[in-house]
């Protein structure tokens, strides 16, 4: 049985406007609505950097391969593990990926297992000051 795809809404809002929104939320003057974006970017350029074609390919590979370590992604991506880890940490910081601890290996290291959290991302661009 195929699971229902998990969707995330991404928002693009200028930094100053985002700061004002965050302060309003902290002060209790504004309460985010259920249908508002959960992940925010300050520009289309910053979104494009995080979800570049290369990173989208990496996310698809993780979904398809279900790797049990970052090392398993080295060959298909033609990237070194430390480079992949840096990219995966960025994707994790934005909430696209979770890096879960695996079982300890022979050398006493615990591998990190990358898991993609969302299957679909919808983008909303906020052009006005109000939500």
Domain residues of the chain, as ranges? 7-125
pLDDT tens digits for range 58-103: 999 999 999 999 999 999 999 999 999 999 999 999 999 999 998 8
pLDDT tens digits for range 113-122: 999 999 999 9
User: How far is the first Cα of the chain from the last one, in angstroms, to the nearest whole number?
Assistant: 38
- Tokens representing residue 13 in the block: 């809002």
Average pLDDT for the chain:
90
Please answer whether residues 52 and 77 qualify as being in contact, where contact means their C-beta atoms are separated by less than 8 angstroms.
Answer: no
pTM, to two decimals: 0.83
- Report which of residues 14 and 106 the model is more confident about: 14
CA of 52: how far to CAs of 22, 69, 100, 126, in Å? 27, 22, 23, 21
Q: How confident is the model at residue 55 (pLDDT cuts 50, 70, 90)?
A: very high
Q: Which CATH architecture has domain 7-125?
A: Orthogonal Bundle (1.10)
- Tokens representing residue 37 in the block: 């974006």
What is the distance between the alpha carbons of residues 124 and 122, in angstroms, rounded to a whole number?
7
Which residues neighbour 18 within 8 Å (Cβ) at sequence distance 6 or greater? 40, 42
The β-bridge partners of 122 are 9
pLDDT of residue 128: 73
């Amino acid at each position: 049985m195929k699971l229902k795809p998990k969707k995330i809404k991404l928002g693009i809002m200028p930094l100053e406007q985002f700061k004002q929104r965050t302060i309003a939320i902290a002060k209790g003057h504004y309460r985010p609505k259920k249908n508002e974006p959960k992940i925010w970017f300050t520009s289309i350029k910053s979104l494009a950097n995080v979800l570049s074609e290369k990173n989208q390919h990496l996310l698809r590979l993780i979904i398809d391969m279900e790797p049990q370590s970052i090392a398993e992604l080295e060959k298909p991506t033609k990237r070194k593990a430390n480079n992949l880890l840096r990219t995966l940490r960025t994707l994790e910081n934005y909430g696209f990926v979770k890096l879960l601890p695996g079982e300890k290996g022979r050398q006493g290291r615990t591998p990190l297992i990358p898991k993609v959290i969302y299957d679909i991302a919808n983008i909303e661009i906020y052009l006005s000051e109000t939500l």
